[in-house]
């Protein structure tokens, strides 16, 4: 499972990097003057946007979980504050798991769509002379 998570992390990092490259390219005057490139990059960015925004949210939640865990480990924090941190961690971990599942499903769906496969059924004609 750890290997699968690393693979997912690498894929999402690559998508984020490509998304950022496209953002830079879209403001380049050379690209903006070429309508065909502009359209192609816009479409590619649109395909990446959903997964990348979920990934950004995922990373933000990961950071928030780490911050809450630091609060739990801090001995100078009151017990009441630690209880709040525990509740927050449980809430964030649920969101974290949901986002992870959504990203995995989205990537699988995206890979299936890249295949562009169709099924054609050919039948013998009926009737005629």
Instruction: For residues 59 and 6, give the distance between their C-alpha atoms in angstroms, rounded to a whole number.
Output: 14
User: What number is the average pLDDT over the span 32-61?
Assistant: 91
Predicted local confidence at residue 111, as pLDDT: 57
- Other Cβ atoms within 10 Å of 6 Cβ, number: 10
List pLDDT tens digits, range 54-85.
Answer: 999 999 999 999 999 998 888 888 899 889 99
Enumerate domains of the chain plus CATH numbers: 2-111 (1.20.58)
Predicted local confidence at residue 7, as pLDDT: 84
Is-contact 12 104, C-beta < 8 A? Answer: no
């Amino acid at each position: 499972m750890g290997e699968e998570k690393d693979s997912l992390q690498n894929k999402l990092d690559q998508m984020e990097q490509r998304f950022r490259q496209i953002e830079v390219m879209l403001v380049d005057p050379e690209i903006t003057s070429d309508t065909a490139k502009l359209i192609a990059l816009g479409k590619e960015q649109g395909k990446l946007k959903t997964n990348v925004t979920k990934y950004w949210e995922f990373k933000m939640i990961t950071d928030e979980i780490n911050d809450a865990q630091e609060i739990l480990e801090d001995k100078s924090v009151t017990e009441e504050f630690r209880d709040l941190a525990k509740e927050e961690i449980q809430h964030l971990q649920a969101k974290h798991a949901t986002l992870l599942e959504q990203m995995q499903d989205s990537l699988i769906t995206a890979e299936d769509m890249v295949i562009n496969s169709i099924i054609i059924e050919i039948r013998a004609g009926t009737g005629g002379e």
